[in-house]
Amino acid sequence: MLRYVKDAALLTFGIYWPVRLSIGREGRNLRSFFQLYTLWLMLVLFLGTISYVFGDGFLPFLTAGLRWLLLLHASVGVGLMVFVLRSSAASQRLALLLLISVCLLDLIPLASQLLGAGLANVTVLRLPGMFSNAGTAGYFAIATSVVAYSAKKSGIAPRTMLMMLSLAIGAASGTRFAIIANLALMAALYLGAEKSLLRPTFRTYLGLGVVAPLLIVAAIALIGFTGRGDILEQQLSEGGRISNLQVVIDEIGRGDSVDILFGRGIGVGTNTAQGLADALHINATSVKWNILIDNTILTTFFQFGLFGSFVFWMGLFFLLRPLICRQATIILLVLALGLVTQNMFEQYFLMLAFAAGLAAVRQDAAGIAGEGRGHASRISTGGGRFFDRRSTLRSYPG
């Protein structure tokens, strides 16, 4: 039931944000963006349905593809609205206080699960808290940590508190990605907080010589504490990422030229497709290239092939390009790690948090966080580059 509520909310927001941003001054400034974005989205949808229309794609999986495409569309809207509309210190503090409240609320079921399992078993359990599974709890922990890092106008105290709570939830979930991402974001927050007190050169030495080694030690210790076992051995064993990679190579080798160029259709290889196959009582692997692997890039290839993947990733790069800045480096690194270790486009928390976080950091870096409306012209894609030599956003007529 909750899944359908989330999908309905995403659909509603997906309809709302283009209408909202197309009205008034923002709409005039974003006209070029909307034209190119719509063209790219329609092209992605067309390339993703080639196998269903002209080939032998398994049609029910189309709904799985439309689901993650809707999430991507909503994430674009979140990023645009955060960047274009007013973002005040008060609104950021309120958002952090709400997330802190949710994290504190999650500690109640976590404590209950911990007591029920017993202290002797805590290091071999993955505790989900109030979430449906431990993986989702880990993704929530990463998302809240990204929001904490990017809400730079809210003050250091609430940001630090939210990050500490996020790390606790991530560690309890036993999700390695969550532990590494949270520690990395905490280190970046610390170095950013010390920026006014330390010279840039000394801050670099501090980061590389002290913070980075401590980060690695802490990550190894926490991952070891969660009792997940030897990571390399797990990835090499059956069902591990490296083992699955060999399966993927074998499957791709059996594909024809049309499969290689255009893929097997949007939705193939996703968790939603796996759920549909179970509901229809069919073997999920009987559908060609429907391989469940924690890698966004490979899953995209299964769906779009070489040509479709090129169109998809190039379009996504140009969508993210206006949000890229030095201050967002740590968020981009965590995002890159997620792309090769998770199927990112199906993770609600991560997608929405990364979009909002990148937009908030870019807005702050451009010095426009408190100026209010009228920033849409700064991300217009018509007529020129996004940045000038000083890495500030430029305004070009659409």
* Dmax (CA) of the chain: 64
Which residue is listed with tokens 């070029």?
A: 32
Within 13 Å of residue 97, how many CA atoms lie on the same side as its CB? 8
Whole-angstrom CA distances from 293 to 152, 191, 223, 309, 347 are: 35, 35, 22, 17, 14
Give 200's pLDDT tier (boundaries 50, 70, 90). Answer: low
What's this model's pTM, rounded to 2 decimal places? Answer: 0.83
Q: Which tens digits make up the pLDDT trace of 337-363?
A: 999 888 899 999 999 999 999 999 988
Contact predicate 303/264, CB 8 Å: yes
Helix axes 329-341, 296-320, angle to 10 degrees: 150
Contact predicate 378/366, CB 8 Å: yes
Give 370's pLDDT tier (boundaries 50, 70, 90). Answer: very low
Q: What stretches of 89-133 show up as alpha helix (H) in DSSP? A: 89-117
Minimum mean pLDDT range among 41-50, 335-344, 375-384: 375-384
| pLDDT given at position 287 | 87
Q: Which tens digits make up the pLDDT trace of 258-293?
A: 889 999 999 999 989 998 998 888 888 888 888 888
Distance of CA 381 to the CA centre of its chain: 23
| pLDDT given at position 236 | 55
What share of the chain in percent tops pLDDT 70? 76
| pLDDT given at position 256 | 85
pLDDT tops 90 at residue 24: no
| pLDDT given at position 293 | 83
Q: Which tens digits make up the pLDDT trace of 78-107?
A: 999 988 886 788 889 999 999 999 999 999
Q: How many CB atoms lie within 10 A of CB 194?
A: 14
Of the two residues 92 and 373, the one the predictor is more confident about is 92
Contact predicate 303/265, CB 8 Å: yes
Contact predicate 260/288, CB 8 Å: no
pLDDT tops 90 at residue 127: no
